Amino acid sequence: MTDAYTELTADLASVDPQIERLIDAEGRRQSEKIRLIASENYVSEAVLEATGTLLTNKYSEGYAGRRYYEGQQVIDQVEEIAVQRAKTLFGADHANVQPYSGSPANLAVYLAFLKPGDTVMGMGLPMGGHLTHGWSVSATGKWFNAVHYGVGKESGRVDLDEVAQLAAEHKPKLIFCGGTAIPRTVDFAGFAQIAKDNDAVLVADIAHIAGLVAGGAHPSPIGHAEVVTTTTHKTLRGPRGAMILSNAEHAKAIDKAVFPGLQGGPHNHTTAAIAVALKEAAQETFKTYAHQIVANAKALAEGLSSRGFDLVSGGTDNHLILADLTKKDIGGKPAAKALDRAGIELNFNTVPYDTRKPFDPSGLRIGTSAVTTRGMGTQDMDKIAEWIDRAVLAARDEKEDALDAIAGEVREFCGSFPIPGWHAN
């Protein structure tokens, strides 16, 4: 283990020991728990170091060669490298690496193609879609006319015939595919045909699966979707940021929507870290990692299913598992809180056709990206499934001592899998 963590926090410890102690406590928490939140991961020490550089000192409104501040000789090179790596890795004509996060990236797409009141279509939030795909509590649902498709009640999968029917009826100008709780492969080609038939722009939101796409473990939307949005963390294993990829035709509209349409200067330290993550994602080892994520998810799904967990769509094709706890006689929220106490971190989540409220739903969302990064393999997934099952049953039966016992076992297990960028003092 290197001293990267110590070096990065040496001055912080003397200037603000209170915050330094909290950061160290978070490092210990991340190290001692099995982290199964589908949207989280561990960045490499190189990405962590790039994020903490003095590039954060520089303001850079505009784009490379077209800035509104002087002194951009170095920053322009950093951004150009990130853009080129993104284009090469995903095979896209154009890449914008400036969006601050996934939601602003999606909002930029609306700004590029729609006017308030125009019709957009996306997967409904309770079915696995994202807030920014036109859901009612989001600005995208308040400012635009949103139409939503779902999944089959029995299959748990998207019915493209339903999507086609809705598109023909409502004629959306934008169609979103992808989402935040979809355990199955997205049929980009099928969505592309529907968009073409209805003269709509197809937007593939691959925030969750970008690393799988980059590593060849999931089909790519490039060549099907005219616009692709993604965060740069999750399976891609970069910093907290976002990118928009597009064909050449839409490059100008996308860039104008990001800046000056929605934001000012990009976060240059994040851009540098994105560039580093993209370089890592171009390596053969990343492909191995991406395929291992899927293998681990399938193994974990099998372990849970064999213990009576009801999995939406019956399993998974990617990094994500969605479990309905109705048959376990416990809600998703109390189960998630109990699992956290037991050393297993995931999130409660709505399942399709859920009869419970969104803040107290029936499901759990589980992902294998972070445990894969730590080096856990398929041989470890059944053990994790066993701990999950024991913890859920203990929560249902209000056996808190059992949760503490599991936490001790998990802590000992995690000691064999160090995390990048932190080590115990």
% residues pLDDT > 90 (the chain): 95
Residue of 79, 205, 317, 354 marked active site: 205
Residue 423: band (very low, low, confident or very high) from pLDDT cuts 50, 70, 90: confident
Please list the residues that pair with 146 across neighbouring strands.
120
Please check if 130 is assigned to a binding site: yes
Q: 349, 351, 348, 335: which is closest to 390 by C-alpha?
A: 335
The mean pLDDT value for 88-117 works out to 98
Is 61 designated active site?
A: yes
Please check if 52 is assigned to a binding site: no
Residue of 180, 231, 270, 316 marked active site: 231
Q: Is 409 helix (H, G, I), strand (E, B) or coil?
A: helix
In this structure, are residues 325 and 347 in contact, taking their beta carbons and an 8 Å threshold? Answer: no
- Write out pLDDT tens, residues 378-414: 999 999 999 999 999 999 999 999 999 999 999 999 9
Is 157 designated active site?
A: no
Q: Is 382 helix (H, G, I), strand (E, B) or coil?
A: helix
Is 59 designated active site?
A: yes
- Distance of alpha carbon 38 from alpha carbon 235, whole angstroms: 8
Residue of 33, 184, 234, 333 marked active site: 234
Tokens of 100: 């601050």
Cis omega (within 30 of 0) for bond into 221: no
Please check if 129 is assigned to a binding site: yes
Judged against a pLDDT cut of 90, whether residue 317 lies above it is answered with yes
Q: What is the pLDDT of residue 3?
A: 56
- Write out pLDDT tens, residues 3-28: 555 666 778 888 999 999 999 999 99
In whole numbers, what is the pLDDT of the chain averaged over residues?
Answer: 96
Q: 342, 308, 317, 243: which is closest to 36 by C-alpha?
A: 342
Q: What is the pLDDT of residue 4?
A: 59
Q: What is the pLDDT of residue 10?
A: 77
Distances (CA, A) of 85 to 38, 174, 180: 25, 27, 25
- Write out pLDDT tens, residues 335-372: 999 999 999 999 999 999 999 999 999 999 999 999 99
Q: 158, 152, 107, 105: which is closest to 129 by C-alpha?
A: 158
Q: What is the pLDDT of residue 1?
A: 37
The mean pLDDT value for 31-54 works out to 97
The mean pLDDT value for 38-48 works out to 97
Residue 2: band (very low, low, confident or very high) from pLDDT cuts 50, 70, 90: very low
- Write out pLDDT tens, residues 365-384: 999 999 999 999 999 999 99
- DSSP assigned state of 248: G
Residue of 240, 337, 356, 411 marked active site: 240
Instruction: Give percent helix, percent strand, percent coil of the chain, each to the nearest 5.
Output: 50, 15, 35
The mean pLDDT value for 202-209 works out to 98
Q: Which amino acid is at 281?
A: A
Q: Which residue has the tokens 């490499």?
A: 44
- Write out pLDDT tens, residues 260-290: 999 999 999 999 999 999 999 999 999 999 9
Please check if 148 is assigned to a binding site: no
Please check if 249 is assigned to a binding site: yes
Is 307 designated active site?
A: no
Q: What is the pLDDT of residue 13?
A: 87
